[in-house]
A and B are shown apart, each in its own frame.
Chain A
Amino acid sequence: MVTPMHQAALQRKDLIWLALVTLLALLPALPAVAANSFRMHVLILILLFASMAQAWNIIGGYGGQVSFGHSVFFGIGAYGAGMAVVTYGGSPWPGILIGMLAAAVVALLISYPCFKLSGHYFAIATFAVVEIFNRMFLVWYWVGGALGLDYPMVKAGLKNLLWYDSKTGYYYCALVLFVLVFGIVRMLESHRFGYYLRAVREGQETAESLGVNSTAVKLTAMALSAALAALCGAFFVQYNLRVDPSMVMSLDMSMKFVLVTILGGTGTLAGPLLGAAVLIPLQEYTRAQWGGLGGGVDLIVFGLLIIIIVIRQPAGIIGIVRDVSRRFGRRPAAAKGGPSLDPA
Chain B
Amino acid sequence: METLLQVMLDGMLNGMLYALVATGLCLIWGVMDVINFAHGEYLMVAMYVSYWLGFLANVDPLISTLAGGAFIFILGALTYKLIIRHTIGKPPLSALLATFGLAMLLKNLCLNQFTPNFRILSGTWLGDKTFQLGAIIVPVPQLTAAVLALAVVGAIYFMIRSTRFGWAVQATAMDRDAAELMGINTERIYILVFGIGGATVGIAGGIMPTYLAVHPEVGSMFGLIAFVCVAMGGFGSIPGALLAALLIGVVEALGGYYIAPVFKYVAVFGLYLAVVALRPKGIFGW
Binding site for B on A (CB under 8 A): 66, 113, 116-118, 120-121, 123-125, 127-129, 131-132, 135-136, 138-139, 251, 255, 258-259, 262-263, 266, 295-297, 299-300, 302-307, 310-311, 314-316, 343-344
Contact = CB atoms under 8 A, between A and B. Distances in A.
Nearest to A295: B112
Interface of B: 29, 35, 82-83, 86-87, 90-94, 96-98, 100-109, 111-112, 216, 224, 227-228, 231, 235, 260, 262-263, 265-266, 269-270, 272-273, 276-277, 280-282
Contacts of A120: 29, 35, 231, 235
Nearest to A135: B266
Contacts of B109: 296, 300
Contact of A343 (B91, B97, B103): B91
A311 B98 contact: yes
A303 B235 CA distance: 28
Contacts of B91: 262, 266, 314-316, 343-344
Given A262-B94, A314-B87, A307 B102 contact: yes
Given A121-B280, A127-B224, A259-B97, A297 B269 contact: no
A305 to B, nearest CB: 8
A296 B108 contact: yes
Contacts of A344: 91-92
A314 B104 CA distance: 18
Nearest to A113: B277
23 contacts: A113-B273, A120-B235, A124-B228, A127-B227, A131-B224, A132-B266, A132-B269, A139-B260, A258-B93, A259-B97, A262-B97, A266-B93, A295-B112, A297-B112, A299-B108, A300-B104, A300-B105, A307-B105, A310-B83, A310-B97, A311-B87, A314-B86, A315-B91
Given A121-B231, A296-B108, A128 B273 contact: yes
A307 B108 contact: no
Main secondary structure of the interface of A (DSSP, over half): helix
A116 B260 CA distance: 31
A303 B272 contact: no
Nearest to A138: B262
Contacts of A123: 35
Given A117-B280, A121-B231, A296-B108, A306 B100 contact: yes
Contacts of B262: 135, 138-139
A127 B270 CA distance: 11
A135 B265 contact: yes
Nearest to B221: A131
Given A123-B35, A259-B97, 19 more contacts: A120-B35, A121-B281, A124-B231, A125-B276, A127-B228, A128-B273, A131-B266, A132-B266, A132-B270, A251-B224, A259-B100, A262-B91, A266-B93, A296-B107, A296-B111, A296-B112, A302-B104, A303-B101, A303-B108
A181 B259 CA distance: 42
B272 A311 contact: no
Given A120-B35, A125-B273, A125-B276, A306 B101 contact: yes
A300 B112 contact: yes
Contacts of A127: 224, 227-228, 269
B269 A128 contact: yes
A131 B269 contact: yes
A123 B282 CA distance: 13
A295 B112 CA distance: 4
B86 A125 contact: no
Contacts of B106: 303
A129 B266 CA distance: 9
Nearest to B92: A344
Contacts of A116: 277, 280
A120 B37 CA distance: 13
Given A120-B235, A263-B97, A136 B266 contact: yes
Nearest to B264: A135
Contact of A124 (B82, B87, B272): B272
Most chain A CB within a 10 A radius of its CB, from B97, B98, B270 = B97
Given A132-B266, A135-B263, A310-B101, A124 B227 contact: yes
Nearest to A64: B92
A116 B109 CA distance: 40
